[in-house]
Structure 1
């Protein structure tokens, strides 16, 4: 494992792309960095995921302005993580939508997550001085809600626990396109540190049953066409399942966290070592899988101090 803490040494700027994945629907991607989505309606625009800072958010806004001058009326956040939400102020004052569960996590652990992620991935927080504080939704829901951008309907849905307990997906039925946040990744490691690994595959099956024609995943390239969508769903499920089962065998047998890490590497390295942020995610994934295997249903809150202690314990 890299001796540098998490991705603290990753300061290489990523190349962004802006891909149309349906009529008026776009995926903003950045070589394994967090993605955003853009939904252009008749009257206004919805953004999916704010980015980590206002500076990064303005890159998304520049892309939006390359295709439309309609106002940004809605910002949808698929979950509470700092790298997804803290750029919200750059978009002006749109409606900000989250699930009830995600808002509860901002209350419970939003500041701790911000402090933790800032130390883990400093490149994503360049320009952090502009962040006015935690991002709070103006509208929350449980289960499902629809938003109309003129005639265009956008459905927000909770399909199950996965990356967090508050995950939502965004579906645009007129194009059968979905924005999944970090429930689905493409050639990028899943971050499972706040996840529910045993529930995750079932949530992926719920997405599969909707048979989307395209998906903007949380990280990685846009997924266009049934074959690419299916491959990403299968790979994401394999990543999560491989991680959990290898760790659970050790945890439930009384083994140590370090032994669980070795077991996870033996299974996952041959398949996923070349995925974006794989080394970054691995220790957090193992720690959460270890807890879940021992019956800890609610993920323990990560703090900067807990991060460092866990990282140190796995070195050598």
Structure 2
């Protein structure tokens, strides 16, 4: 029998940080667990990323209430993954915003993703019994939309495929700060199991074009200052390329998924083995890289059963 996923044994409570990344802009981070963002407008608050359950969302709300008593009016979800969206009901937001593509992915694979992620990473679903069901947006956009929180302008954009096909980023022009979701990470492994390796670099270039002063990434510490921002973008690019290229070489030669796993480990372990959730992400990253290299453009849906079958094959 295959050993358990690395994440199934990760039950260690993480320390929460709440970092101001611009005036009225905050990053809720937790040592490699999913981050959330806070944008305080004139009369109300926008949250970026909901967390996996209402109970965990309340930890974000507690931090918000330390800095403002304004109501939460908007919730932006950068993509469809369960650990990002299933806590949405806690905020009571009037508008829940996703890209059109992200919403379509909730319809297509939201329940399967929930079941899969719950099996893989139980600690992130603390209070799962409080989840009322799948999270659907009230508002969607195709390329971009703008929300005004009073006079504060917030631009929500799809800059390209990367972590998923429907990723959104949020830019606050008055502070030149961006919330990138899982397109950019900091000293945390990128989860690429639903990713698009060939497009990810171009999407990073699109983010880099904004020359922002700070980024609240998907996981890891807040990135304050252009030096830290640019280092994180460069490092994310290196992680994605170092995962894909060895798997692609194996696929081109007709090698097996296990061969790809060995090749990616050889390339990535020396550089990234100490990153948060590295061991958790690696099997899913290799499987997706191997698929994409063989011409499968749309990521196959992860199910609890497919997870186990893939993991057992890699143990062989």
The two structures have a TM-score, normalised by structure 1, of 0.99
| Aligned equivalent of 2:65 | 65
Structure 1 outlier segments of 4+, above 2 Å: none
Query: What are the superposed Cα offsets for residues 114-141 of structure 1, whole Å, 9 maximum, x if unpaired?
Result: 0000000000101000000000000000
Paired residue secondary structure (2:155): strand
For residues 204 and 212 of structure 1, the distance between their equivalents in structure 2, rounded to whole angstroms, comes to 12
Instruction: State the Cα distance separating 1:25 from its structure 2 match.
Output: 0.1
Paired residue secondary structure (1:199): helix
For residues 168 and 203 of structure 2, the distance between their equivalents in structure 1, rounded to whole angstroms, comes to 10
For residues 94 and 45 of structure 1, the distance between their equivalents in structure 2, rounded to whole angstroms, comes to 11
| Aligned equivalent of 1:302 | 302
| Aligned equivalent of 1:149 | 149
For residues 12 and 242 of structure 1, the distance between their equivalents in structure 2, rounded to whole angstroms, comes to 28
For residues 81 and 312 of structure 1, the distance between their equivalents in structure 2, rounded to whole angstroms, comes to 24
| Aligned equivalent of 2:261 | 261
For residues 218 and 113 of structure 1, the distance between their equivalents in structure 2, rounded to whole angstroms, comes to 18
For residues 300 and 177 of structure 1, the distance between their equivalents in structure 2, rounded to whole angstroms, comes to 33
The alpha-carbon distance between structure 1 residues 228 and 93, as it changes in their structure 2 partners (threshold 3 A), is: closer
| Aligned equivalent of 1:50 | 50
For residues 109 and 289 of structure 1, the distance between their equivalents in structure 2, rounded to whole angstroms, comes to 19
For residues 26 and 298 of structure 1, the distance between their equivalents in structure 2, rounded to whole angstroms, comes to 34
Instruction: State the Cα distance separating 1:6 from its structure 2 match.
Output: 4.1
| Aligned equivalent of 1:119 | 119
| Aligned equivalent of 2:244 | 244
Query: What are the superposed Cα offsets for residues 196-229 of structure 1, whole Å, 9 maximum, x if unpaired?
Result: 0110011001000110100000000000001000
| Aligned equivalent of 2:218 | 218
Instruction: State the Cα distance separating 1:89 from its structure 2 match.
Output: 0.6
Paired residue secondary structure (2:164): coil
Paired residue secondary structure (1:47): strand
| Aligned equivalent of 2:287 | 287
Q: Does the 8 Å CA contact 2:96/2:137 hold for their aligned counterparts?
A: yes
For residues 56 and 161 of structure 1, the distance between their equivalents in structure 2, rounded to whole angstroms, comes to 28
Paired residue secondary structure (1:163): coil
For residues 154 and 3 of structure 1, the distance between their equivalents in structure 2, rounded to whole angstroms, comes to 45
Instruction: State the Cα distance separating 1:92 from its structure 2 match.
Output: 1.4
Paired residue secondary structure (1:311): helix
* Deviation larger for 250-259 or 86-95: 86-95
Q: Does the 8 Å CA contact 2:75/2:93 hold for their aligned counterparts?
A: no
Give ranges in structure 2 of 5+ residues lacking alignment: none
Paired residue secondary structure (1:66): helix
| Aligned equivalent of 1:172 | 172
| Aligned equivalent of 2:311 | 311
For residues 223 and 94 of structure 2, the distance between their equivalents in structure 1, rounded to whole angstroms, comes to 28
For residues 64 and 188 of structure 1, the distance between their equivalents in structure 2, rounded to whole angstroms, comes to 24
Paired residue secondary structure (1:250): helix
For residues 308 and 6 of structure 1, the distance between their equivalents in structure 2, rounded to whole angstroms, comes to 13
CA RMSD of aligned residues (A): 0.8
For residues 242 and 201 of structure 1, the distance between their equivalents in structure 2, rounded to whole angstroms, comes to 12
For residues 71 and 233 of structure 2, the distance between their equivalents in structure 1, rounded to whole angstroms, comes to 33
Q: Given the alignment of the two structures, is residue 190 of structure 1 paired with residue 215 of structure 2, yes or no?
A: no
Which structure 2 residues correspond to residues 60-99 of structure 1 after superposition, within 5 A?
60-99=60-99
For residues 313 and 160 of structure 1, the distance between their equivalents in structure 2, rounded to whole angstroms, comes to 32
Paired residue secondary structure (1:207): helix
Paired residue secondary structure (1:242): helix
